[in-house]
């Protein structure tokens, strides 16, 4: 018997739950129940006790723990194995290191990352007690080419999970940035491994970083003007545990559809993509930047750009800056 079992019971109960009921259902002594309750209080849970009534959970701390996530998970394939870190170098790195020892669908989430990364090896600011840093280990039996559009599917799923949990509507900047009120609040990094000799897909690890409770001064000075958080928009801190769960629930629904190669995620991506209809600058290593107009998203989630000379290009990699967003003027 652990604190988490008692916490789950308290979360399911709207009113007081007697120590006797807890003791009988878990098959432990009343002294063990009292010890666990005291342990939960030390963890930051406000639990009232009343004679002849028992215990009642009043408030929960903002923790990224299994006890704060598991009660809200409703998934078929993802999150059956849930690994929560107080601190880790990177949830993506952890799942890649342990990919041979963990089942598909394992979710890793951290309260803090010391080596969070974004695309092109850029650092992703991951302070403790503020954001959501979450990765999923996937081992689908698909061709590697099919995995190329997974980031776009994930972007839609994260937006929908955030909206269900908070009511906030996020925008997507092609291909993997998440924006709120014109500021970047998150991003997605999808990594995969392919077996060298036969070219089969070993695993995919999509990682999601989301700014939740940061304030402006939590960000490095150089990004303070372009970075935002969910709390900055709603004007109050948010509980991260239920939000993690809702995002994983949304990812679970998305993954089942993605495996079939069907669904309407392309249309949903287009609707959420703030890049479309804007002037953009396409940046690639070793090539001069080109300015054009973001015209459409193709069936493989490539960005169709029309240049002033009338030519069109489908951009599938590189950096795309959008006029008027994130410092591009």
Average pLDDT of the residues in 60-70: 93
| In the predicted structure, residue 236 carries a pLDDT above the cut 70 | yes
Check whether 4 has a pLDDT greater than 90. Answer: no
User: Which range, of 71-85, 199-213, 224-238, 276-290, averages the lowest pLDDT?
Assistant: 276-290
Q: Which of 5-14, 104-113, 140-149, 259-268 has the highest mean predicted lDDT (pLDDT)? A: 104-113
Domains and CATH numbers, the chain: 3-59 (1.10.10.10), 66-272 (3.30.930.10), 279-322 (2.30.30.100)
**DSSP symbols for 78-127:** S-SSEEEESSBS-HHHHHHHTTTTS-TT-EEEES-BSS-B-GGG-B----
- pLDDT tens for 213-233 read 999 999 999 999 999 999 999
Q: Given this model, what pLDDT does residue 199 score?
A: 84
The arithmetic mean of pLDDT across residues 281-301, rounded, is 89
For residues 277 and 280, what is the distance between their CA atoms, to the nearest angstrom?
9
pLDDT of residue 28: 92
Q: What whole-number distance in Å separates Cα of residue 255 and Cα of residue 150? A: 9
Question: Has residue 93 got a pLDDT over 60?
Answer: yes
> How do residues 109-122 score in pLDDT, each as one tens digit?
999 999 877 665 56
- Give the pLDDT score at 288: 87
pLDDT at residue 126 is higher than 80: no
* pLDDT tens profile 154-168: 999 999 999 999 999
* pLDDT over 90 (residue 195): no
* C-alpha–C-alpha distance, residues 40 and 47, integer Å: 8
Residue with tokens 């061709």: 143
Q: Is the pLDDT of residue 1 over 60?
A: no
- Which band of pLDDT confidence, cut at 50, 70 and 90, is reported for residue 329? very low
Residue 45 near residue 57 (C-beta atoms within 8 A):
yes
Q: pTM of the entire structure?
A: 0.90
Query: Could you give the percent of the chain with pLDDT greater than 70?
Result: 96
Q: What is the pLDDT of residue 152?
A: 93
What was the pLDDT predicted at 117? 72
Compute the average pLDDT of residues 255-282.
93
Average pLDDT (74-103) is 97
Virtual torsion, Cα 178, 117, 248, 149, nearest 10 deg = 70
Are the beta carbons of 183 and 227 closer than 8 angstroms?
A: yes
Average pLDDT over residues 117-132: 77
CA distance 102 to 110: 17
pLDDT, averaged across the chain: 92
């Amino acid at each position: 018997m652990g604190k988490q079992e008692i916490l789950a019971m308290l979360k399911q109960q709207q009113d007081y739950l007697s120590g006797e009921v807890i003791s009988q259902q878990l098959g432990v002594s009343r002294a063990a129940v009292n010890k666990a309750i005291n342990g939960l209080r030390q963890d930051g849970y406000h639990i009232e006790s009343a004679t002849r009534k028992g215990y009642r959970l009043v408030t929960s701390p903002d923790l990224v723990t299994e006890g704060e996530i598991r009660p809200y998970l409703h998934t078929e394939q993802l999150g059956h194995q849930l690994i929560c870190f107080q601190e880790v170098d990177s949830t993506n790195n952890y799942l890649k290191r342990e990919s041979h020892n963990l089942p598909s669908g394992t979710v890793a989430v951290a309260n803090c990352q010391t080596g969070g990364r974004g695309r092109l090896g850029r650092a992703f600011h991951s302070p403790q007690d503020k954001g959501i840093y979450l990765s999923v280990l996937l081992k689908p039996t698909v061709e590697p080419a099919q995995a190329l559009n997974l980031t776009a599917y994930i972007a839609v799923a994260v937006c929908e999970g955030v909206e269900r949990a908070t009511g906030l509507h996020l925008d997507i900047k092609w291909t993997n940035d998440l924006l709120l009120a014109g500021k970047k609040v998150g991003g997605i990094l999808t990594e995969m491994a392919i077996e060298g000799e036969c070219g089969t897909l070993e695993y995919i690890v999509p990682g999601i970083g989301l700014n939740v409770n940061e304030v402006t001064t939590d960000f490095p000075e150089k990004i303070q003007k372009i970075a935002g958080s969910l709390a900055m928009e709603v004007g109050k801190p948010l509980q991260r545990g239920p939000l993690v769960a809702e995002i994983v629930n949304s990812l679970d629904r998305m993954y089942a559809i993605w495996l079939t190669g069907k669904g309407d995620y392309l249309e949903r991506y287009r609707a959420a993509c703030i890049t479309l209809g804007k002037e953009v600058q396409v940046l690639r290593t070793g090539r001069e930047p080109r300015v054009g107009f973001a015209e459409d998203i193709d069936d493989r989630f490539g960005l169709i750009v029309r240049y002033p000379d009338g030519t069109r290009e489908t951009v599938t990699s590189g950096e795309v800056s959008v006029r008027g967003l994130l410092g591009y003027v």
